[in-house]
Copies of this chain bind each other. A is one copy, B any other.
Amino acid sequence: MNSTHQPDLRLVATNRSDTAISARCGCCEARHAGLCDTLADGDLLHLAHAAHWQLISKGRVFALEGDPSRHFFNINHGAVKLCKDLPDGRRQIIGFAGPGDFVGLAADHHYSFSAEAINEVRLCSFDRVGLHLMFVRFPALEKRLAAMASSDMVVALAHMLLLGRKTSIERVASFLLGWSTKDDGRVLALPMSRTDLGDYLGMTIETVSRSLTILKNQRVIAIASDHGISIVNRRRLSDMAGAIPRRGGLSGESACRKTRN
């Protein structure tokens, strides 16, 4: 369940295309998307004792908010929820992570959220000190991780807008759009529970459920099963999500007059 690597662990760059950069972890076969974009194919990163592979069982918390952030993680299989909790039990899920995603990059000295496995999860855990050694040898690596953190921030900002200003239907619609891939009709897997969805969208499970029912009744989505939905009418779903303001809509001068509702 928790097997430490041999000293000869290495990352092998296998692919350098612009959109889908990936690397294969020589030892555990895990794919670490985006880690090795500037390495020549075949280049090796020796990470002796710096990483180890883990299987995390469903419901297990493998990083706890406030703990020293000695490791960061690359998810290989399964889904993870990233949570912040209040002492009285209220919870805000600040994001989900799936295969290829990194968790815990932004933390400086302590994790600013907990990470919990939604289902059986396989991940590769990297030592932060080892990472810094890698930075010295491959400065571009740091750039790449910063870019990832930056795009995480863009997602976080969009989520703030959702949490602060959107209605329940808009929240659910926005989530489904964001979670979905491009191909409609296909059944979309929602590994997380309604409770998780509620904690992510800042609402209760009942309201999540009601919102999904409304979308279903309006033929905007179809509910194949509890954890599988499909988008029937993406245009309408997008309308109901509180559309992203179109570029160049307002002059740069003294914009932002308000007309609430």
**A147 sits at the interface (CB 8 A):** yes
- The stretch from A8-16, A37-45, A153-161, A222-230 touching chain B is A153-161
Residues 57-68 of A, flagged 1 when their CB comes within 8 A of B and 0 if not, give: 001111011110
Chain B residues with CB below 8 A from A89, complex form: 257-260
Interface size on A, residues (CB 8 A): 70
Nearest B residue to A249, CB-CB: B87
Chain B residues with CB below 8 A from A254, complex form: 59-61
With contact pairs A108-B154, A157-B84, A248-B66 given, residues A165 and B202 touching in the complex (Cβ less than 8 Å): yes
Chain B residues with CB below 8 A from A108, complex form: 147, 150-151, 154
With contact pairs A86-B245, A245-B65 given, residues A92 and B153 touching in the complex (Cβ less than 8 Å): no
Say whether A114 contacts B256, CB under 8 Å.
Answer: yes
Residues 219-261 of A, flagged 1 when their CB comes within 8 A of B and 0 if not, give: 0000000000000000000000011011111101111111111
**A152 sits at the interface (CB 8 A):** yes
**When chains A and B are docked, how far (Å) is the Cα of A84 from the Cα of B59?**
35
With contact pairs A64-B252, A94-B161 given, residues A153 and B156 touching in the complex (Cβ less than 8 Å): yes
**A106 sits at the interface (CB 8 A):** yes
Minimum C-beta distance from A61 to chain B (A): 5
Minimum C-beta distance from A202 to chain B (A): 3
- The stretch from A28-36, A122-130, A138-146, A208-216 touching chain B is A138-146
The residues of A with any CB-CB pair to B shorter than 8 Å are 59-62, 64-67, 83-92, 94, 106-108, 110, 112-114, 116, 139, 142-143, 146-147, 149-154, 156-161, 163-166, 195, 199, 201-202, 242-243, 245-250, 252-261
